Every structure is written in structure tokens, then in C-alpha cells.
Amino acid sequence: MSMSHLYGTDGADGVEMESFEVSDWDLQNEFNPHRQRHRQTKEEATYGVWAERDSDEERPSFGGKRSRDYSAPVSFVSAGLRKAAAEELSDEDSEEDEKPGKQEEIPKEFVPKKLKTGGNFKPSQKGFAGGTKSFVDFGSWERHTKGIGQKLLQKMGYVPGRGLGKNAQGIINPIEAKQRKGKGAVGAYGSERTTQSLQDFPVVDSEEEAEEEFQKELSQWRKDPNGGKKKPKYSYKTVEELKAKGRINKQLAAPQKELSQVKVIDMTGREQKVYYSYSQISHKHNIPDDSPQQPLGKDSKPQGFALPELEHNLQLLIDITEQEIIQNDRQLQYERDMVVNLSHEIQKMSEVLSHEEKAISNLSKVLDMVEECERRMQPGCENPLTLDECAKIFETLQDKYYEEYRMSDRVDLAVAIVYPLMKDYFKNWDPLKDCSYGTEIIAKWKSLLENDQLLSHSGQDLSTDAFHRLMWEIWMPYVRNIVARWQPRNCGSMVDFLDSWVNVVPVWILDNILDQLIFPKLQKEVESWNPLTDTVPIHSWIHPWLPLMQARLEPLYSPIRNKLANALQKWHPSDSSAKLILQPWKDVFTPGSWEAFMVKNIVPKLGMCLNELIINPHQQHMDAFYWVIDWEGMISVSSLVGLLEKHFFPKWLQVLCSWLSNSPNYEEITKWYLGWKSMFSDQVLAHPSIKDKFNEALDIMNRAVSSSVGGYMQPGARENIAYLTHTERRKDFQYEAMQERREAENMAQRGIGMAASSVPMNFKDLIQTKAEEHNIVFMPVIGKRHEGKQLYTFGRIVIYIDRGVVFVQGEKTWVPTSLQSLIDMAK
């Protein structure tokens, strides 16, 4: 099949051109399914599109192909005489004017015409008859059907005579075709839009604008036909542009400033130019130069105006003017910034001035108040200043003039004003007779003079804290005098005095009183105490000091125990005075020291007393047993049980066995057994060793009544003993069940309490919980760290925590310690 309908031929050169537009030949072929097909020749089958073909013949030609004879001579055909250009233009216009009329008479779009795409089709060809009629009778086939297409369009809202679409925006008339003049490409002969398309779509054609721009740019490269000189275009700078440029280039780096002073010689132009900075080169093309100088020819004219010196001077004046404008703009901006800065400075200084004026007025008022106090403290003043009035003046200073009060030296002010008044106030004071005298006024002065920022437990605060100095120099001498005359056995008045002042006096002063004044007096008195001759018990004048001194009394306990042990060497349990003397010390001594004292001095005496006890069922003396049982609360249960197992139960069981072997009265044995058991408390009876001893007695009685050997047996004895055994075992079981129930209840309450309280989440929370239980202060030290770990104060000990381990500060290094050791050190 030939491809000449796709590759058209140029009539002049015979060169095939590829055509991609849809031609009339394509349309006719599509609507003519019974067209005759071209029979491919052998040469076309071999060479394909490169096969030789005759482009002059019309396509399609089915009568055979005539080969061109290139060896024949060239023949010329006369085309007539060429008309002038004006005549050709007029002829073309006339032809174009005639075409619309012809189109109106005969619709050309339905008439087959000569195709321009490659070959030429003959209108009389049979194969395209159907294609010719297809446009005329388009849609006539509906006459032979039921008109389903028209009905479907009407159901969808189509109105005949209007366009398609929701808003009838579709076109009504079919698309018009416009014949191109020549054989060029699309758009080669201008716009191809029809009158109908311009009416329906009145949009400016972008192709036309692109063509105009292309022609405009193309004309710039063409030589001016007039041959005239191109007029130079000047660029102008406004003052605002110069200012903006000056602001951008305001801050130059050091290398740029150095380069700005470099001399530059420019030889790129018609003549040599000298610049004194690289920045001047940037202004080189602001005013364009003329075209480069050309050698003078015969027809060229010499240059009429060439004054390089004048041009240089003018350029220099322009540069100087630009620099002056930029410099003036910078100076103006600097002055404006200076005005704003000075206005802020004035505002700030005015605020400072008002603050200073207020401070001066407050200081003057404070000075007037201080001078008034000094005037009223003079010896001959009619209205002398009292301590209460002075406290009110200091309260006024603290409330109204707090800043000035904090800035002033309160120590010197208090020394000058308050100390003389305080000496006069405590001049006739006896602390033991009136222990609460002056506590209220001193508490008021504490809030006025004490420095909150200082720790009030060290004697080093004297130089900076007025209240501590006041108490040490004025109040403390009276206390020293009274303690020197005080008798330790009359402790009531001294304890009451210190109790009333414990919340007022600084901690370090109270510690000094207890350690340096009270404890030496008590120690001396304990050394002179004799428990055998003194009628006043020692606990009566030692125990009242426990709330104040607590662990400070520990050194006194050892000599007291030694003296009590010496007094108990010749003691007998029948003497009850020993219990009265020792009982108050049970809760004072530590449990270990108390148990050791009891085992060493009391338990041997009680064992001797039990050895002397004679068990006689017929005539029993219970005094020795009562003397031992009376110490049940003083000695531990284990010690008492040990005494009974060693010195009481062997003899008691032996008497029971001998009694049962002599035909006894079992009712008396039962009463005797129950009587001895009632002599012991429930706590002693609950001990496993005591239970075993009484169960052993029951077993002995059961064996005695169950044995058939012997003579006369008391009627009902076996049942009575069995009933006694069952009753006692049931009591033991009930007691054990009750104990287990109590323990379960205690465990449940303890579990509820632990659940209610916050469970420690980490080691720090555990330490805090232990500190709260033992009333120990645990808090972080602000701003202090060791190897990135926060430091804490645990009582008076400095610690830090690292991975669940407590480290205590030693003499040189940090030492790890346990939590219990930490608590003991803090106490």
C-alpha cells in the first residue's frame, strides 16, 4: 500500500513531506468501506516506503504506474507571462471576494475537492461516491428506524434548535472548515479561524501575539535600512535608589575596604580609563557608551563630539554627588537613632531619678525616727523611750520602709537603741521565780531583728544577727547567774523556766545552756548520789530533763546502773523497794542494757527464792512464789519462764507424782492443779514451755486413772480427769484461735495503714519516710552538688544518693553507709 497520502510531495523539488493532519481523503476512505484497495507491487514489497513512485500521478491510481524516464531531455511548458506584483495582489483579492458567494450557491464542503496531502483524487471516482453523499444525507438513516436517537436526546432534556448541555452551551451549527491557501504548515498563512469560531469564542489568539513578538524581536537583528546611528538610552537614578544602595553597602568588611582603595586601569573601551576602586567599575555601564569606534571609510563622517576630559570630570562630579547623598542619608539616620536612644535614656533616667527621690525621702523619714529615739533615750528626757514603744517604731520601719530597713545595719542600730532598754527591762528579773517574764516582748523582738537568711544554730551569727547578739549579751548573763546558784535536786523551777523560753531562745544558745551549764551540775550530783542513804529517788530529779536533754543524759545512765547494782548485792526479793526504784528506769534504759541489768542483778535473786519454795499440797506457803511473780512486768517473759522451768516445775511435778501414787482424792488434785494454773498470767501460760509442763501434768493424771493396776479406784475419777483434760485442751485451742484472730486483725489494720500511706517509689522517698518517722530534717542543699548529684542534709549530716546507696561526707572522702547507721548518726 502506498504511503503517498501521508508523505506529500513538493512540486518543485519532489521532496516528500510528512503530513499529519486529517485530510478529506482520510474522511472519504473511512466512510467508504467498499473502496478498492491498491495492489502492492513487487518493488513496493521489497523497498517499502523507499520504493520509487510517480508523484505526478493522482492518488489512488489503479491503472498501473508509469515509470519516469530520467534519460529523456528536459521539456519546458509555457506558463504565460508573469504579471506585476500589484496585479497579482489585486487578482488574489478579487478571487477571495468571489469565493463566499460561490460557497453560498454550492456548498463546497460537500463537494469533493483536490487533496493537498500527497496525491490528487479524482472526483469522479466510484470508490468515493459514498463518502460524497455521507455529508449531505447525514442522519437520514433514522427515517428507516423508529427514531431511537432523537427520543433518547429528548428524554435527556434536548430541545431541537438549541445546543447540547445542561445550559444549552453546545454549538448548533456544524464546525466550518477553512481552506488553506498554499501547501505550508498549520499557521504559515496566518490565522485559520472562521467567522463562526470568532463569534462563538471571542478570545484573542495567543498565536497572533506570539507572531507579533517574534517579528518584533526579529526586527532588532536586522540592519537599519536608513543606516542612521542608534540613539543611546540613558538610565537615571533617583535619590531613594541611592539611599537604598547606600544602606545595603553600609557595612563593608575589612578586605573590601582595602580593595576599595585599589587603582584600576580599564582598557576595554575606546580609550584608557582609570578607576580608584572596584566599586566604580559597577557604575561603568550606567550610562551606555556609543557604538565602538569604526575606521573611517569613504562615506563615513568624522565624530563631531569627543571630549574625554569633560566626560571624566562630569562622571567624577556625579560620583561625588552620589557619595554626598549617601553620606547625608547615613548621617540623618544616625541622628534619628540618636534621638530615639536619648529619649529612652531620658525616660530611664527620669525613672531612676524618681526612685532616688523616693528613697531619699524614705531615708530622711527613717533618720528622723532614729534621731527621735536617740533624743528620748537621753538621761534628762521628760518622755523616756520604753521597750514597747521602741518595738512599735521598729515595726513601723519594717512595714513602711522595708527596703531601707533591710539595707541598714540592724546590728548597730539595735545595739545603740535596744540594748540599753533591754538591760533596764531585765534589771530586777529572777528567772526561777517568774520564769515567763519577758517572753512576749522577746518574741516580738525576735521577729524584728532576726535575720531570716542565716541559720540560727551557730554562734558565728553574732556578728550579723542583732537578735542573737541581744540574747547572748543581755539575756544570757542572767541565766548563768541563776544556774550557778541552782540545786539540781530542785529541778522543777529550772525545767519550767527553760520550757517557757525554748521557742524564743535561739537553738545554739539553748544547746549551750544544756551542755555547758545544766549537764555538769547533773553529772556532779549523780556522782554524789547514794541509793542506800538518799531518801529522794534519783529518777525524781533526772527524768524531768528527758524532754529537753534526751540523748544528752546517756553518759549519766552508766554510773546510775553501777550504783544500783552495788545496792542490790545484799537485796532479797522480799524487799519491794527495789522494784519501786528500778521501775521508772525501764523505759529510759535501752532494752538491751535493761535486760542485761535484770539478768545480772535480779534474776539470780529470784531463782534463789524459788529454790527455797516448799510445795506442800496440805499446807502451802505462797509468799516466795508471790515475790517472784511480782517481777513479771520487770523481767522478760523468757527470763521468767526459764526460772520456772529450772526452779519450780521439777518440784511441782514430783509432788504431783508422789500424791497420785498414794490413792489420792482426784477432786482435790483437780482443784490443786487449777489453783496453781490460775496463779500465772495469760502471757506466761501462752508460752509453749509452760503449756508443755501443764500438759505433762494432765498426761500424768490420765495415766494414773487409766491404769488398772492397784486396788480401790475412786468412782468417777477417770471421767473427771478426762473432762478436765478435754476442757484444758479446748481452752488452749480457743486461746490460740483468739490470738491468731488478733494477729490477723492487726496485720489487716497495718496493711490498710500502709496502703493509705504513700508507698516509697524510690530510695529517696524511703529515706524521706524514715526521716519523718524519726523526726529528722531531710531537705536538699540549694545550689550544692557533688559529681552532678544533689546534696541533702539529713539532720546535721550532709549526704548524697547514687544508685540506691547513701554516701556520707567524711573527713576526706565520701563514705557509703546503711540507712540504719545514717539514722543512728543523725540522732
**Dist CA 22 CA 246 (whole Å):** 64
**Dist CA 290 CA 110 (whole Å):** 64
Quote the pTM value.
0.48
Peptide bond into 60 cis (omega under 30): yes
If pLDDT is split at 50, 70 and 90, which confidence band does 427 have?
Answer: confident
16-25, 764-773, 786-795: range with lowest mean pLDDT: 16-25
478: exposed, middle or buried (C-beta count within 10 Å: 0-12, 13-18, 19+)? middle
For the chain, give the mean pLDDT. Answer: 75
Which residues lie across from 16 on neighbouring strands?
A: 9
**Dist CA 278 CA 280 (whole Å):** 5
The whole-number pLDDT of residue 285 equals 53
Share of the chain above pLDDT 70, in %: 71
378-382, 498-502, 808-812: range with lowest mean pLDDT: 378-382
If pLDDT is split at 50, 70 and 90, which confidence band does 350 have?
Answer: very high
Share of the chain above pLDDT 90, in %: 6
The whole-number pLDDT of residue 209 equals 78
The residue-averaged pLDDT of 550-558 equals 89
79-to-76, 83, 116, 384 alpha-carbon distances in Å:
9, 11, 21, 150
Residue 13 has pLDDT above 60, yes or no: no
**C-alpha cell recorded at residue 434:** 517568774
Burial 635-661 (b: 16+ CB within 10 A, else e): bbeebbbbbbeebbbeebbeebeebbe
The whole-number pLDDT of residue 458 equals 45
The whole-number pLDDT of residue 455 equals 42
**C-alpha cell recorded at residue 798:** 550532709
Residue 249 has pLDDT above 90, yes or no: no
**Dist CA 121 CA 505 (whole Å):** 132
Peptide bond into 688 cis (omega under 30): no
Strand arrangement, sheet containing 814-817: 778-786, 789-794, 797-802, 805-809, 814-817
Top mean-pLDDT range of 360-364, 478-482, 721-725: 478-482
Higher-confidence residue: 484 or 278? 484
375-379, 416-420, 454-458, 542-546: range with lowest mean pLDDT: 454-458
pLDDT digits 0-9 by tens, 493-515: 898 899 889 888 888 889 999 99
pLDDT digits 0-9 by tens, 588-614: 888 888 989 999 999 999 999 988 888
The residue-averaged pLDDT of 213-237 equals 67
**C-alpha cell recorded at residue 89:** 495582489
The residue-averaged pLDDT of 646-669 equals 85
DSSP state at residue 261: T
The whole-number pLDDT of residue 352 equals 94
**Which residue has cell 525545767?**
495
If pLDDT is split at 50, 70 and 90, which confidence band does 134 have?
Answer: very low
Residue 71 has pLDDT above 70, yes or no: no
